[in-house]
Structure 1
Amino acid sequence: MVDADQTFVIVGGGLAGAKAAETLRAEGFTGRVILICDERDHPYERPPLSKGFLLGKEERDSIFVHEPSWYARNDIELHLGQTVDAIDREARTVRFGDDGTLVRYDKLLLVTGAEPRRLAVPGTDLVGVHHLRRLAHAERLKGVLASLGRDNGHLVIAGAGWIGLEVAAAAREYGAEVTVIEPEPTPLHAILGPELGSLFAELHSEHGVRFRFGVRLTEIVGQDGVVLAARTDDGEEHPAHDVLAAIGAAPRTGLAEAAGLEIADRAHGGGVVVDERLRTSDPDIYAAGDIASSHHPLFGTRLRVEHWANALNGGPAAARAMLGREVTYDRVPYFFSDQYDVGMEYSGWAPPGSYDEVVLRGDVGKRHFIAFWLKEGRVLAGMNVNVWDVTERIQSLIRARTVVDQEALADPGVPLESLLS
């Protein structure tokens, strides 16, 4: 029984944490809710950091999950700029702040997110080397891109994943020169495979981005403490005034590991192991968002999903589970991206090696199509490019797990919903 005497603590002040706190109050919890955030900014959404906010098309205030006064109005004890350094599972306490404040919890939710992977090459300490994960990073990078655009400066991006490509698009819109260094043969290779990765290579090349595929960044060269160039393992040197490291993110599991919670292996993306209720190996501790690793029944494997929708939905699901509600968290992974005049949404999970065919529906040349990744005739994933209001139907096809008529799947004149029957 949940009552007013209980204390629920949420560690992590991103989207998942803020939505979890909101859900606790919406579901009628009258106990104490403590939200601890290691950033000094109020909880905000991260997609605009590499999209609208970075481009100057979205105002700073628009990215926050709630207006600042919302927390006090809803009796949420918000601690900004505070780091939790220990969990005592036996005493059920967390320790945080400069003074080592101890708070006892009845239920604990970990939503500590992820952090950018660092380049392990000489020169990363130079002025002009950037990462993009936090609002402060985006604010700094926004100024850098504007300056590069004015001065015809060069940006080198290590990594052709979503962040790398979105920043490349933003940089070109500002007018900066851009070179992307990627060890795989295409952008987004580990997510989309070569068939669709090449589409994004063509898109960016048309907008003046230079790609160097199949090579790795080995050194950032500087002069007087600032970036001058970037060297790759093929012996080339690329002019650079700034370098962005966009080589992925790692789950922030240190706190959970120190507390002795079960951690998934690297082959499954790491992360804190949770069950279908987002409960960890400790029944009083839950995890959601970027750090949660759960077995997904649709794909038959353990997944850790870093995208916005997982935080948006995972935080509330964990909150309901903490309240004792019946919860089964099995949402189809979903993310979206905007680059130049191309918008896309991706649903499902189909890394290279998991599928045997890609079916295209629509006009790929005009970048107005849907791609489907299939295994033995069943849809594993779908990506709609400049085609809208089809996500629900694509996800229904994935959930159905039935063999589809591939000719009908490729025909834009055949309604997607008809393939479910």
Structure 2
Amino acid sequence: MTLSEEAARAYELDRRHVFHSWSAQATLTPTVLTAAQGCYVWDGEGNRLLDFSSMMVNTNIGHQHPKVVAAIQEQAATLCTVAPSFVNAARSEAARLISERTPGDLDMIFFTNGGADAVEHAVRMARLHTGRYKVLSRYRSYHGGTETAVNLTGDPRRWPNDHGNTGTVHFFGPFLYRSEFHATDEAQETERALAHLERTIEMEGPATIAAIILEPVPGTAGIMVPTREYLRGVRALCDKHGIVFIADEVMAGFGRTGKWFAIDNFDVVPDLMTFAKGVNSGYVPLGGVAINAAIAATFAHRPYPGGLTYSGHPLATAAAVATINVMAQERIVENAAEIGAKVIGPGLRELAQRHRSIGEVRGLGVFWAVELVRDRATREPLAPYGGTSPAMTEVVAACRAGGILPFVNFNRLHVVPPCVITEAEAKEGLAILDQALTVADAHTV
């Protein structure tokens, strides 16, 4: 098929004028998307694709949910924008709904435009609260593309931006499949990862460390689900040394793991929590920081030195209000948990039995990673860390040809559909993935 006239025009203008993120511009051939509904999108050639990526793992309620679209339209007709110093009803209600769902006493909400600036402000709050500067984060993590956030990031996107001057220090987190600690089981991996973190804190100087930031379940870096004991151990180390614990819930929050927040799977309460993406399924850009009572008190009579023109933008927060209400009314979080437990998890484990290219599957809810390898015995990845390969390119092409839009990072396929996906849609996607994995199998030894 060929692009429609409208899609061809959009593509021409894109290539002439749009500068794309994380890309070498001359090598790009981006896909034109012309429509979306529920768990499906349509490309410029009229092909329907099952969205197994949730775009950027953010369309948790699916595309074009009518109640959220209506809420945006209604808000636009009432109050399109307002300076953040003024009260507006949408922001107030969004803050209430979010604080009702955050763990512990994270009851104050500072709104940002997205996840990266939420991380920037959480780190700033922690530094001002503690009077310290260093922030620890794990390798194999992603925290955003702005200056502090990208330096906190523990994947290769940090490298061109890292000049060693941002006060960030990295450590290894638990990841048994590719263990840095020569562990043989989860208990040993947890124990050794915590010992490594404690030693890192000791060597860096506890009194110099403002915060430890972690994705409770790392997203782009590989969806490595830790044990409850690991996150409880991190919480204990933070308490011992007066370090602020920041949970980065930008990708894993708002239903993705089958809980409102990923940290809820572990019964741990952080001091600060960042969010974005699923808070309103990306319909209008929005992020934020949930703040506990102690840190909020730091700024009760001391001005917080930070803000944004669009903090708590009424269109974005109206979308958040509608999204959270829809998620509750339609049991979308519960659906994510059920589909993960009954369909996606078992389905992926069954595929792993049939395809020698699958080294491991792991995840929760609608948040899964399929680790593709050339050799199961050596665990050699199908693409190198920080890069891709002709084999992975072929696998992605097979997914697209079969009718799914995958999320891919290095040697992994991530199965991250909208939280509203039905059992039939999930099985449809797994069947397409089954066929695509025969291409990966051809590259194994």
TM-score, normalised via structure 2 length = 0.30
Q: Decide which structure has greater helix share.
A: 2
Q: Which has the higher contact order (CA 8 A, sep 6+)?
A: 2
TM-score, normalised via structure 1 length = 0.31
Q: Decide which structure has greater strand share.
A: 1
